[in-house]
Chain A
Amino acid sequence: MGQLSQLLLAFIVFLSLYLLGSSSLTGCIKIVALQGMCLGVLPLTVRAEGFHPQGLLLAAGMFILKGFAIPWVLLYAIREVKIRREMEPMIGYIPSLLIGAALIGVSFALAERLPVPAGLRTSLLIPVSLATVMMGMLMMISRFKAVSQVIGYLVFENGVYLFGLAIAYQVPWIIEMGVLLDVFVAVFVMGIIINHIARAFDSISTEKLTRLSD
């Protein structure tokens, strides 16, 4: 693991933290796009032994899908909606940030205890991935706006992908392509549903989605 990849990883976790404290929806979409681009570049800085054509293809696919295609779908989904800001979430911004910081601490402690393989022991990869996963889940459960929940899902998925990098040299690239494609389709479907929510309820807040319960 080179200096550059460590720097990128630190930047990725910083972006997740920034998302937790940010209220502008379009801003959040742009940040998550930036995070996706970083993820796309990351494998190129990790592998010192040279590049496989498949690796390059995967990085390019990642860069385009997570950096451009998915944010475009989300921006399209909220274009018609007037409200551009997240209302006060279930857990406020400052508490969210504090919880996020605590989660980062927990992830480092956890990664310290897990029997991490020798090659990854000094790397930030596993703690950063765990922290990103947890912050994504936090966003998914604490926000009301449908778009914010999707952004939370994306952050969560980015974290899982980071974890996948730890084993990337063993897993066939076609599987990762499949994963990437599935995530894209998922966000695409979510985008369509957000659009329908916006039309049916005149808002994209999932707070309105409370008719079904026992």
Chain B
Amino acid sequence: MIYLLLVGAPLLVGLLALVVDSDERRPWLLPFGCTIHASIVAACWKTLPGPAMNGWFRIDDLGLIVLSLASVMFLVCSVYCLEYLRLRKERRNRLFTACLSFILASVSLVAVSRHMGILWVGMEAATLATAPLVYFNHNEKSLEATWKYLMMGSLGIGLALLGTFFLALAAIPFEGRGDPLLIDTLLSRAGTLSLPWLKGAFIFLLVGYGTKMGLAPLHSWKPDAYGESPGVAGAILAGVITACPFLGILRAFQICAAAGLSEFAQGLLVMIGLLSMATAAVFIIGQRDFKRMLAYSSVEHMGILALGVGLGPAGSFAALLHLINNGLTKGVLFLSAGNIHRAFGGKTMDHVRGALRRAPISATLFLLGFVAITGSPPFAPFVSEFSILRAAVDGHRFGVALGFVGLLAVIFIGMATTVLSVVYGIPPNSDSELSAQGDSPLMIAAPMVFMALVVFLGLWLPGRLTAVLSGAARLLNGGAS
């Protein structure tokens, strides 16, 4: 029942948004739907609901993390949308509003599913619902970004489907006893799985869902899509939609670990993680477009997530914490970057200088977000990045630790050049009519809430959250669910 509500409520709100005919009233559906969703998730924190529908749906600690992150991000972003869509009166927002709700519904479906097939269906639905968000500006550039997003996304998701089928073939020794794509069945009979097929399945799922996450070398859609979509869509993409394919990879990892293939899977994750960080470092240096810079930063942090999981139990805990921290910090960065973009009417260093003068609060938030995402204390990403480093050192993976720290340093320098030039200096031409748009109450309130959460999690990790995170890390490393 609770699963039906989690998926159904946003779905219904989305359908309602398609029916409502007023561009002014429609956006109010978003905070309404997100509040309902958030209160259901809060109920899940109180008591975890049991399995439903032949065990197809159940929330475990891993799913709960993704679900809660999505719910919080959507709730805050929906408030931002109220003001954003009011400023963008020239665009019809019917599809935008409806698709945001559909994304929340599909993300919830991914988070609560215990069946690799349903997980895939939810993921594909989330991908498709995102396309109209990327295309919101309806110009040639956003068209190109949407096309690349659709093509790469479809290819990735198709490869993931192939991987899912491989997984079912690995389960042939079950001889028809039980559904071969049900995660619980796969885990309980992991010892009998056919290992060559399982290895193939993990590789295809990693590459397929990795494309959706934006892991290198299949990240090329990311800078285009993040750069051309509105800031709020960027926040949802970078914070929530990337968490879903990550969950898909984690499910595959869980099965591999149970079948005794953890070393194989961990090796691949460490390799692809470092590769993503290195790729991001190369493209962040000298990046003149600050939204594209954020996209490469997202590639970097997806790499950090993969790397963390590849480093064993301690690293997994840190990676899951980083999933939350990265999502919230990306919320700060994309929303404030969107405000700066609007205040200047451009998003490259040629147009944007001295944001601190034209949009002081957004620029301050952007600067703080940059300091946080590059891993400086006292912000939350510092805690998780430091824990990943410690996991590497404790595991005597000194080469990995050195690469990790070195790449973080290079990325810090690369991002600093762009961010400082955007924030400081003198604005190119002082159009007084534009400057008023920079800081409007709701549009700075939303990133401020994210910032407050980032500071809060950096200073204090609530005991309940720690319990859920360590429960999830145990699941990943062969523990019973």
B300 interfacial by beta-carbon distance below 8 Å: no
A146, closest chain B residue (CB): B147
B158 interfacial by beta-carbon distance below 8 Å: yes
Q: For B327, what are the chain A residues with a Cβ–Cβ distance below 8 Å? A: none
Contact A156 B155 (CB under 8 A): yes
CA distance A211 to B145 in the complex (A): 10
Contact B223 A190 (CB under 8 A): no
CA distance A172 to B115 in the complex (A): 11
Q: For B168, what are the chain A residues with a Cβ–Cβ distance below 8 Å? A: 167, 170-171
CA distance A85 to B150 in the complex (A): 23
Q: For B180, what are the chain A residues with a Cβ–Cβ distance below 8 Å? A: 167, 170-171
Q: A161-173, CB under 8 A of B: which get 1 and which 0?
A: 0011011011110
A209 interfacial by beta-carbon distance below 8 Å: yes
Q: For B176, what are the chain A residues with a Cβ–Cβ distance below 8 Å? A: 169-170
Q: From residue A209, how far is it (CB to closest CB) to chain B in Å?
A: 4
In chain A between 88 and 129, which residues have their CB closer than 8 angstroms to a CB of chain B? 114-115, 117
CA distance A193 to B153 in the complex (A): 15
* Of B124, B125, B151, B194, the contact of A115 (CB 8 Å cutoff): B194
Q: For B172, what are the chain A residues with a Cβ–Cβ distance below 8 Å? A: 117
Contact B154 A212 (CB under 8 A): no
Q: B126-150, CB under 8 A of A: which get 1 and which 0?
A: 0010010001001111011111101
Known pairs A167-B165, A171-B168, A182-B121; A153 contacts B144 (CB<8 A): no
Size of the A side of the interface (Cβ < 8 Å), in residues, is 39
B289, closest chain A residue (CB): A214
CA distance A166 to B141 in the complex (A): 42
A19 interfacial by beta-carbon distance below 8 Å: no
In chain A between 180 and 203, which residues have their CB closer than 8 angstroms to a CB of chain B? 182, 185-186, 189-190, 193, 196-197, 200-201
In chain B between 267 and 285, which residues have their CB closer than 8 angstroms to a CB of chain A? 283
* Of B144, B161, B196, the contact of A209 (CB 8 Å cutoff): B144
Contact B228 A212 (CB under 8 A): yes
Contact A182 B118 (CB under 8 A): no
Q: For B360, what are the chain A residues with a Cβ–Cβ distance below 8 Å? A: none
Q: For A171, what are the chain B residues with a Cβ–Cβ distance below 8 Å? A: 117, 168, 179-181
A187, closest chain B residue (CB): B154
CA distance A50 to B101 in the complex (A): 42
Contact B143 A197 (CB under 8 A): yes
* Of A167, A169, A189, the contact of B150 (CB 8 Å cutoff): A189
In chain B between 157 and 173, which residues have their CB closer than 8 angstroms to a CB of chain A? 158, 161-162, 165, 168-169, 171-172
Size of the B side of the interface (Cβ < 8 Å), in residues, is 47
Q: From residue B235, how far is it (CB to closest CB) to chain A in Å?
A: 20
A197, closest chain B residue (CB): B143
CA distance A211 to B196 in the complex (A): 43
Contact A211 B141 (CB under 8 A): yes
CA distance A117 to B172 in the complex (A): 7
Q: From residue B418, how far is it (CB to closest CB) to chain A in Å?
A: 13
A157 interfacial by beta-carbon distance below 8 Å: yes
Q: For A185, what are the chain B residues with a Cβ–Cβ distance below 8 Å? A: 125, 128
A5 interfacial by beta-carbon distance below 8 Å: no
B35 interfacial by beta-carbon distance below 8 Å: no
B161, closest chain A residue (CB): A160
B386 interfacial by beta-carbon distance below 8 Å: no
Q: For A182, what are the chain B residues with a Cβ–Cβ distance below 8 Å? A: 121, 124-125, 128
* Of A115, A164, A167, A212, the contact of B196 (CB 8 Å cutoff): A115
A206 interfacial by beta-carbon distance below 8 Å: yes
Contact B128 A206 (CB under 8 A): no
Contact B131 A193 (CB under 8 A): yes
Q: For B169, what are the chain A residues with a Cβ–Cβ distance below 8 Å? A: 117, 166-167
B292 interfacial by beta-carbon distance below 8 Å: yes
Contact B287 A179 (CB under 8 A): no
Q: For B248, what are the chain A residues with a Cβ–Cβ distance below 8 Å? A: none
Q: For B151, what are the chain A residues with a Cβ–Cβ distance below 8 Å? A: 140, 149, 153
* Of A133, A175, A186, A196, the contact of B154 (CB 8 Å cutoff): A186
* Of B171, B181, B196, the contact of A114 (CB 8 Å cutoff): B196
Contact A212 B155 (CB under 8 A): no
Pull 5 A–B residue pairs with CB atoms less than 8 Å apart, ordered by A.
A164-B161, A164-B165, A166-B169, A172-B179, A209-B143
Other than the given A172-B179, A182-B125, A190-B150, 9 more pairs (CB < 8 A) read A114-B200, A160-B165, A167-B165, A170-B179, A175-B181, A186-B124, A196-B138, A212-B223, A214-B223
**Partner-B contacts on A (CB < 8 A):** 114-115, 117, 133, 137, 140, 146, 149, 153, 156-157, 160, 163-164, 166-167, 169-172, 175, 178-179, 182, 185-186, 189-190, 193, 196-197, 200-201, 206, 209-212, 214
**Partner-A contacts on B (CB < 8 A):** 115, 117-118, 120-121, 124-125, 128, 131, 135, 138-141, 143-148, 150-151, 154-155, 158, 161-162, 165, 168-169, 171-172, 176, 179-181, 194, 196-197, 200, 223-224, 227-228, 283, 287, 292
